Chain A
Amino acid sequence: MVSCAFFLLSWAWSSWWMGDVLRIAYERSYFAADATLMYWLWQQPFGSLWIVGRALLTLYHWPLLGGLLVAVLLACGSWLVGYCLRLPRRWRWAQYLPACCWMIWTAWSGLDLYYMHEPGRIIGVPFLVFVVCAADAFVIWTFKRRRRHAPAPVSPAPRKEERGARSFSFTLLLLPLFILLLFLAPCLLLQHRHPFLRPLTRMQVQLMEQDYAGMVETGHKNAHLSYRPLAAYYAIGLVRTGHLTDQLFDIRLEYDTVYAHSYGGDPEQALNYNLVDCDFQSGLVRPAMRRAMEELTMDGPSLFTLKHLARMALIEGDWEVARKYFHIIRKAPFEGAFLEKYEPMLHRADLVEADPEFASVMQTAPLTNAFENQFAQPCFLGYFAVAESGRSIQTLYYSLMANLYSKRMPDFLARCQVLVGSTPPRTIAEGLATQAPKNDFILQAFPQLKMDVQRYVGFLKVAAPYMKERERGGRELFDEYHGYFPYYYFFGNIRATVKSGEKHLETSKSGVN
């Protein structure tokens, strides 16, 4: 019964609670039964183990199936641990400790499970434990068979009724403890240490499935959480659903610390985690390509980077390199659907342009050449903050929102001149309202903003007591005013603003390899 409960709980943990996390870990991994492609990993310490770990991780293409594999590994591994250690019945619970440790390790690691770290470890380590225990158990079993006719043990076995009663009370006692240990403890640990991780990976899965409304919904459900990658994917959802100009500030944008580590083990705020997606989705295909190539260099091939590079090569019309990426993706199992969708676009610019996602991306692509290095980084903010031309009205909206987000009000106002005579979207109207008391021209140009200005003046009265304690104001006013730009202007993103003002984004390096 305990084993059964353990199996079910570990399946629930690994497929439901951690399903999206491990699905994204799978996307950040790559496995192919090809020596050329896996050589870079094979030559690293424990490389062959990580390759096996990656091979098993591929089942997370379907998280339920991946979770089943993990549950089987953990349940059987635990039984084997008990068998090998010959634990007395009262100590049988200890056989589950290695599995518990694994769950706690995954919860503790968070982004470190796959971001800037080897994803083959995730299942590679429990697989190794399983194999070692299985081998040990086999030796023990063989040894036992040989001693089948050996004399009986000195201490007599307890009578059947005694054994049954002990087992029953033991199970009753232990089961709740197991539920606490095996499920609640890692769940709580994950929620405490990486509260953003599950919604973040949910949004990433939704992005892959092009469920943009779902991304926005996930963002709203977790509006109280404030982490940079989470905000980035929420913004992508808004971009794709056309709600960037009215819902961007619905979530907290204060950016708590992300517990992650870079390649060398230094603390890492995952600032680059979402850049490929953000640059790409905002129409900056070249910067996205560059980022993806850098990730390929640092992490080795992953489905995430290969798929992005292939899609971006299609948009750029780099057919032959797109073919190469497709070829490499084909070597990985289970990626038929991706290839079926995108491979027919090779040498077919008309199909590329007809794809709704690509069409939308190309709508906001730069109109004239410039160098990425000329803009503050990340490029999707730096470029749009100063963009002066575009292929569609979307570019103007992105630019206005980038300036509102960066609180660059003079640049925002300069770009608003194009909107004179029209009704600006909600957040842009709120942005204009914040400047109206200082600039009479705004109400002359946008007379319909009188109500917005009045609301703003009312807000200032409410906000006045908090102006010297903005962090407190941010917390206390959030429920009532989240989504309202003046709230963000005064109480949002304070830490970044206070640290380095508008220049909080670094310009890129320029080394040459």
Chain B
Amino acid sequence: MICFVAVAIALLSACSGRPTSLPATFTEVADSACIYPDYRDVTIPPNIAPLNFMVVDDAADAFVADLGGLVCGAGSDGKMDIDTAAWRSLLTAQRGKDIEVRVYARRGQGWVRHPAFRLSVAEEPIDSFLSYRLIEPGYELYRQLGLYQRNLTNFTQTTIYENNRSYDNDENHCVNCHNYQNYDTERMLFHVRAAHGGTVVTNGREAHKIAIKHDSILAAGVYPSWHPTQPLVAFSTNKTGQVFHLLYPEKIEVLDTESDLILYDAERNQVSNILRSTDALETFPCWTPDGTRLYYCSAKMPELEGENTEALITSRFDSLLYDIYSMPFDLATRTFGEPRLEVDASSQGMSCSVPRISPDGHYLLYTYGRYGQFHIWHKSADLWVKPLSNDLAPYPLTAANSPDADSYHSWSSNGRWIVFSSRRDDGNFTRPYIAYFDRQGQARRAFLLPQRDPEYNQLLLKSFNVPELTRSAVRVTIEELNHVVRHTEAQVAAYK
């Protein structure tokens, strides 16, 4: 009852005093409006959902925003709920142009107007769907988590798969590493860990569960990359652990004590080794858009004297430096050629991770940090780009980066947008940020994925993991995935 009363009071207070027109008289102030999310001077896709935002000003009791003629009001909570139809018309009209946004606040002495900021509307749209995992940034335990899909043109979020809503010992499982083939949802996969373990592979509306395990391979597949045209998946296979700092700028280290690369044939349910080495740690494979090369990260295995490899690697956590390599792939023979060093970070005393090739094949996007490969827990991690079509040196995407961790990233299918995970909001909870990537190979200032309630990200106690853009919605139903995960046995892949 109290709950309902409180909700009613909250609604009433939110609705009351919400102005609907621009003030006739006001005073100009020099300070910029404090808004959350910070959408000032960002470039946005012409098909993005309304950028609802919240003005934070304790001295004001009402707000109005003028978004290029679209007027939106807010009560004392400062929450601007932009009309979707009007927003869509605005973006259509302003495609390729700028929208000037002016924010007015009603303070004790009357209305004030803050300096204007700009929203640049790009010509190129972003892929309509973004999928991600929502999970608390807990470290070892999990309870309720799932893979979700957001329609970027509106605020609809649908569930791809959820583990469990209430706890059950026998049912508890984790899902991770969802991946799609070439921005399409016809073929996708994700892993299931603990109860009902395996890898779920879909083909259109059908799905099945496989298990990749064999004496000849190190372990099950971990980080995947679908070949752009063939039913092939390159996986890294990792023996991973995590350790917790007692006193260090970073809180966690996720370390591989062994890792290799394997190739999985989804049509024949066969697996084979790509690279099986004891002197190097290979991880994060990624195909080029034409499927003729495979990029991956590799670090030299430190020379260890002693029996406990895990403890020794842990003690040298900050000396594990990964470079990016690539190997040619012959589709006819399904063989790989000699590795070629693409980004030499280790010689600079730095480390690279998560290589991603732009759809036009001209750019290699990756994260660059002080050490290691699990950069999402490293404040030093930034997005960098290496042009592949010329010999220009790699450079950081300065406008898109932040002082905190900017890591797991993916391209849109037209190569004009990148989406990535960032801890810039609070240093702890990752949020998906979107940045425009222009034809000169520079990224613009990134903006937070808009939500209907702009306060959403401040209240959400989960992280957005592995944001992946796709052109269409996932086709397989949640019921089918539930059936496959919970009621079918994994088919063990044969080793070839």
Contact = CB atoms under 8 A, between A and B. Distances in A.
24 contacts: A33-B6, A33-B7, A34-B10, A34-B459, A36-B453, A36-B460, A45-B165, A51-B3, A263-B167, A264-B170, A286-B251, A290-B251, A293-B138, A297-B141, A298-B141, A301-B461, A320-B426, A324-B429, A327-B458, A370-B245, A371-B245, A373-B244, A512-B140, A512-B254
Interface string A30-44: 010110110010011
A371 B140 contact: no
**Across the A-B interface, the 8 shortest Cβ-Cβ residue pairs:** A264-B169, A297-B138, A33-B6, A510-B241, A321-B426, A297-B136, A320-B426, A371-B243
A289 B461 CA distance: 15
Contact of A56 (B2, B247, B458, B461): B2
B403 to A, nearest CB: 11
Contacts of A266: 169
A297 B141 CA distance: 7
Given A43-B165, A294-B139, A297-B136, A372 B428 contact: no
B81 interface: no
A513 B138 contact: yes
B320 interface: no
A328 B136 CA distance: 15
A369 B461 contact: no
B139 A290 contact: yes
A409 B384 CA distance: 54
Contacts of B176: 513
Contact of A372 (B165, B246, B455): B246
A285 to B, nearest CB: 9
Contact of B244 (A43, A290, A327, A511): A290
Contact of A44 (B7, B166, B429): B166
Residue among B166, B176, B253 facing the most chain A CB atoms (10 A cut-off):
B166
B245 A513 contact: no
Contacts of B9: 33
B430 to A, nearest CB: 12
A53 to B, nearest CB: 10
B247 A373 contact: no
Contacts of A513: 135, 138-142, 174, 176
B59 interface: no
Contacts of B456: 36
Contacts of A508: 140
A67 interface: no
B140 A294 contact: yes
Given A36-B453, A286-B246, A287-B246, A294 B426 contact: no
Contact of A286 (B142, B244, B429): B244
Given A37-B459, A293-B138, A512-B254, 18 more contacts: A33-B3, A33-B10, A52-B3, A293-B139, A294-B138, A296-B138, A297-B143, A320-B426, A328-B459, A368-B247, A370-B247, A371-B243, A371-B253, A372-B244, A510-B140, A513-B139, A513-B142, A513-B176
Interface in A469-513: 508-513
Contacts, number: 143
Given A294-B141, A296-B138, A510-B241, A369 B165 contact: no
A284 interface: yes
A323 interface: yes
A36 B428 CA distance: 18
A318 interface: yes
A52 B1 contact: yes
A55 B2 contact: yes
A303 to B, nearest CB: 13
Interface of B: 1-3, 6-7, 9-10, 135-144, 165-170, 172, 174, 176, 240-248, 251, 253-254, 314, 425-429, 453, 455-456, 458-461
Contacts of B172: 264
Contacts of A371: 243-246, 253, 314
A58 B166 CA distance: 23
A6 interface: no
Contacts of B141: 294, 297-298, 513
Binding site secondary structure of chain B: loop
A512 B240 contact: yes
Contact of B427 (A40, A44, A321, A512): A321
Contacts of A51: 3
Contacts of A287: 244, 246
B65 to A, nearest CB: 22
A293 B241 CA distance: 18
A331 interface: yes
Interface in A280-337: 284, 286-287, 289-290, 293-294, 296-298, 301, 318, 320-321, 323-324, 327-328, 331, 333
Interface in A365-424: 365-373, 383
Contacts of A323: 426
Contacts of A263: 143, 167, 169
A268 B2 CA distance: 34
Nearest to A45: B166
Most buried by B among A36, A333, A383: A36
Contacts of B142: 297, 513
A132 to B, nearest CB: 14
Contacts of B138: 293-294, 296-298, 513
A437 B248 CA distance: 44
Given A36-B459, A368-B247, A264 B140 contact: no
A370 B243 CA distance: 10
A112 to B, nearest CB: 14
A166 B455 CA distance: 64
Contacts of A370: 245-247
Contacts of B247: 286, 365-370
A119 to B, nearest CB: 15
A290 B137 CA distance: 10
Contacts of A294: 138-141
A49 to B, nearest CB: 11
Contacts of A43: 165
Nearest to A58: B2
Nearest to B138: A297
Nearest to A320: B426
A511 B3 contact: no
A321 B461 CA distance: 11
Nearest to B254: A512
B246 A512 contact: no
Contacts of A298: 138, 141, 143, 167
A193 B399 CA distance: 62
Contacts of A510: 140, 241-243
Contacts of A284: 246
Contact of A328 (B2, B174, B425, B461): B461
Contacts of A36: 453, 455-456, 459-460
A288 B425 CA distance: 22
A365 B428 CA distance: 21
A294 B429 CA distance: 14
Contacts of A328: 459, 461
Nearest to B142: A513
Nearest to B424: A320
Interface string A16-41: 00000000000000010110110010
B459 A327 contact: yes
A129 to B, nearest CB: 15
Nearest to B425: A320
B63 to A, nearest CB: 19
Nearest to B242: A512
Nearest to A510: B241
A227 to B, nearest CB: 24
B193 to A, nearest CB: 8
Contacts of A367: 247
B38 to A, nearest CB: 13
A93 B382 CA distance: 71
Interface in A341-378: 365-373
A510 B242 CA distance: 5
A75 B246 CA distance: 52
A65 B455 CA distance: 32
Contact of A324 (B165, B168, B426): B426
